Structure 1
Amino acid sequence: MFVLEYKVKPKPYQVEAIEEAIRMTQFVRNKVLRYWMDNRGVGKAELFRYNTRLRKEFKFVEELNSHACQTAVERTLRAITRFYENCKKQVKGKKRCDPAPSHGARERAPREGYPQFKRNTRSVEYKVSGWKLSEDRKHIVFTDKKGIGHLRLIGSRDLNYYHPEQIKRVRILKRADGYYVQFCIKLDPRLTVSKPLTPSQKAVGIDVGLKYFLADSQGNIEPIPQFYRKAEKRLNRLNRQKSKKFRKGKPQSRNYRKARQRYARQHLRVSRQREEFVKRVALRIPPSPPFQRGVGGDLVAYEDLNVAGLVKNRHPPFAPLSKGGWGDDAGWALFRRWLDYFADKYGKIAIAVPPHNTSQNCSSCGEKVQKSLSTRTHICPHCGFVADRDTNAAINILKLGLSRVGRTRIHASGEIPSWLAGEILSANGDS
């Protein structure tokens, strides 16, 4: 699945129409979620039938395209499914689901792990109806009764390369710097490669760390750019300016909204810098046309880290991994998603291995050598092997990957990468 994104500059009346459509999507989602909470055990069919009743009951909901209402129900279903999966897996930080309340019993308030009601939805999503492309594919017209109308697509990607039947979803997205239209195109990324690549006959293991963004088993390193750290001073200043204009218990002024927009745009800039960095690094790991002589190989092994758990732990020795350090600023989880994508696109294998003791074990003799996070050089007292801590870990990761590759089925890790999940728009496509 490809996601192509275009900037649009709607007129004031179109902005109101887009905001109204987004609010209707949020309204349908919250009403369907409320219905599920009041009638625990209802299935997918009942939720879609309730959506149909909503369209008959509320005239303003009927004005929104029926497929856009269905996507709002699908968002609720994904939240419910994720909640039950967390209950089954006993995910830390998620509560077990309570049984349905008996008749006449007081309903409990939603607890942690429950699907939450949305307050600030930022997108409305259409399927195959409610919109129409112009003949030159540079304009789009939304044909439902919300009155969004005609929008010009601003971007370098040409939609003429794709058949209209390949476009499965269209989303209008609101960001801090304006509005965007995204197209979800059903296309195998491997078909976009112009010619098959010559096998490099190499394998590489990579280790993400504190001193470097990553180090591989060949001794190459990539420094951490620390985009958030560099922008932190400006972010703090913009946040103070925003806070000074905030009026508690009163309608906010236009100056406050402007200050809030400046603060949000700076955060958006940092997130885009981080994504472009990890995209460039991930593209270079498996040899690809831009980097035929890249540092990677036909097999790439990396750590299967619980990044969300690492960055939440603020206690020693993991404090540097939290937001107070630079673990959250590195974008390790984002890097893994792009690495999976590029490896599959160019016919390579990416395999995730358990990270246990990869930094402690000696890659030469296999003996365990205890060391703290502050010790950046691996010195083995058993065999005398000396190497950088991260390079030693990368070699161990490569060994684990080679030992597991014969027992894998899909994408070497046995898991479908997040960018392949369904036909729902995600941030993992080309933009």
Structure 2
Amino acid sequence: MTSAKQPRSRVRENSHARFCKRGRGSDFPLDSTSLSKTRKQINFTDKKGIGKLKLKGTWDLNFYQLEQIKRVRLVHRADGYYVQFLISADNKVESPPTGKTIGLDVGLKEFYTDSDGHSKPNPRFYRIGEKRLKFRQRRVSCKNKGSINRKKAINKLGRVHLKISRQREEHAKRLARCVIQSHDLVAYEDLRIKNLVKNHCLAKSINDVGWYQFRKWLEYFGVKFGRITVAVNPAYTSQECSNCGAVVKKSLSSRTHVCECSFVMDRDWNAAINILKLALSTVGHTGTWILDPNASGDSTSTHAGEILYGQVESTNEESPHL
């Protein structure tokens, strides 16, 4: 089975690419592009006025055959232009089984707490960079509209946003890779982020923590290393007692689970154990699944998992350092 890799080479700023809309990329057919023998230059011959561009970056395109390149995209970011190459390559990695399973409960206080009681802190990249963002936003507002200085201020503001988004993505990627390589089965919550951010008191914190990026990389690395990733219905995972199964109602401010059976545990740790139990309740399933304990039968709805499964199988956004 083959999957696609997208090595990105940065284009020097003296190129004048044309884009339909700010911040979006433009796809080019293969017959309208040609790489030089050294793979350090790319020539666009589709009469768009782009011409020959110099490439710089850490990706060595000489490692790939020209037949492996399926698509070329030119992308505009705040810090310059990038050329993305969609490459067909074998992306499976054989890894020995570990014999370990784990359940993950993501949160705002801690990035996640696993079923073994370990937790990872929430880095809060946006909160840390918020002071710098406000400074750059004030710089934009004090410039005259349409002026060159305003465009420069907007670009500097965009660079700060870009740095924060890249920090969040790399953090989620590193943690997901470590979790997948250390366990044969990883269970996590099937959260609906779009519904959660409707709570305006928590929307900024939810967007800052990056739950979706973490889940995306978990499922991607699950396919790459041949691990099982299971998304379970998060309903009542924080309320149920992992010891006796009784439902103990608690608010978001209650961080300790105290049950009538004298079982006391951290709220997130208790939820992570329940998430793992739900995942292990269906034996024999492999791949990415969405488990609903309220559904009848062992096999349940998998539509959301299938969508993400297809995404991670056809896209590789890894940096060359991984």
Give the Å deviation of 1:121: 5.4
Partner of residue 380, structure 1: 259
Give the Å deviation of 1:284: 0.7
Check the 8 A contact 1:123/1:174 in 2, yes or no.
yes
Q: Which has the higher strand share?
A: 2
Partner of residue 298, structure 2: none
Check the 8 A contact 1:7/1:181 in 2, yes or no.
yes
Partner of residue 306, structure 1: 192
Any idea what SS the aligned residue of 1:181 has? strand
Partner of residue 430, structure 1: 318
CA distance in 1, matches of 2:218, 2:313: 20
**TM-score by structure 1 length?**
0.67
RMSD, aligned CA: 1.9
Pick closer, same or farther for the CA change 1:422–1:221 going to 2, 3 Å.
closer
Listed one character per residue, the Cα deviations across residues 402-429 of structure 1 (whole Å, up to 9, x for unaligned) are 11353x46434443354744998x6x61
Partner of residue 49, structure 2: 147
**Percent of aligned pairs with the same amino acid:** 49
Q: How does 1:281-292 map to 2 (within 5 A)?
A: 281-287=175-181
The unaligned stretches of length 5 or more in structure 2 are 291-301
**Which residue among 119, 125, 129 is the counterpart of 2:31?**
129
Any idea what SS the aligned residue of 1:374 has? coil
Give the Å deviation of 1:246: 3.8
Listed one character per residue, the Cα deviations across residues 318-373 of structure 1 (whole Å, up to 9, x for unaligned) are x23x11xx111000001100110011101101010100000000111111011110
Check the 8 A contact 2:232/2:279 in 1, yes or no.
yes
Pick closer, same or farther for the CA change 1:257–1:419 going to 2, 3 Å.
farther
The structure having more radius of gyration, on CA atoms, is 1
CA distance in 2, matches of 1:123, 1:343: 29
Give the Å deviation of 1:152: 2.1
CA distance in 1, matches of 2:229, 2:270: 19
Listed one character per residue, the Cα deviations across residues 199-225 of structure 1 (whole Å, up to 9, x for unaligned) are 111110001012100000011100000
Give the Å deviation of 1:161: 2.4
Moved over 3 A (4+): 416-424
CA distance in 2, matches of 1:298, 1:345: 13
Pick closer, same or farther for the CA change 1:423–1:221 going to 2, 3 Å.
closer
Partner of residue 210, structure 2: 331
Q: Which has the higher helix share?
A: 1
The unaligned stretches of length 5 or more in structure 1 are 27-118, 288-293
- Count of aligned pairs: 303
**Which residue among 245, 250, 264 is the counterpart of 1:371?**
250
**TM-score by structure 2 length?**
0.89
Partner of residue 233, structure 1: 131
Check the 8 A contact 1:171/1:182 in 2, yes or no.
yes
Any idea what SS the aligned residue of 2:42 has? strand
CA distance in 2, matches of 1:226, 1:146: 42
CA distance in 1, matches of 2:230, 2:29: 34
Check the 8 A contact 2:9/2:56 in 1, yes or no.
yes
Structure 1 residue 416 corresponds to structure 2 residue 318: no
Partner of residue 299, structure 2: none
